[in-house]
Amino acid sequence: MDKIPILRMGAFLLVTIQVDMHDRLALTLQDDLTNRIVETGARGVLIDISTLQMVDSFIGRMLANIASMSRILDAQTVVVGMQPAVAITLVELGLSLHGVRTALNVERGMELLKAAITPNVDGSAHGAVEA
């Protein structure tokens, strides 16, 4: 296991994290993901963490980094499928996932992304609400 697959779904990229992350895998993912955003012109990144039973500060920082990098490349990041226990742990650890949006599942995450990249009818540039 040397890399995490990145699936293209229309204007979005989907990453499913299933394995324990370690430094090199996280760096590879950041490299691959930023390259894919540039190649495909993706406007959004969905990161599914539904199988993660635990999120430590390393994963939390990695998610925040990916969100920041994507934002610079004009893509929004949504973390989906978080387990209740993970949310509890994150708050107890004092990790607020600053700048990272979340949604209950992939479908809702896609709706969130679609709403965020579609300009409002009333003339304002973006329908996105900043976290």
User: Which residues form the interface with a second copy (CB under 8 A)?
Assistant: 1, 3-5, 7-10, 14, 16, 18-20, 48, 50-51, 81, 105-107, 110
Nearer to a second copy, 51 or 68 (CB): 51
Q: In a 10 Å sphere around its CB, with 0-12 CB exposed, 13-18 middle and 19+ buried, how is residue 116 labelled?
A: middle
Q: How far is the CB of 49 from a second copy (least distance, A)?
A: 9
Burial code (b: 16+ CB inside 10 Å, e: under 16) for 55-81 equals: beeebbebbbbbbebbeebebbbbbbb
Q: Which two tokens stand for residue 19?
A: 């394995």
Least separation in angstroms between CB 88 and a second copy: 20
- Is the CB of 34 or the CB of 50 nearer to a second copy? 50
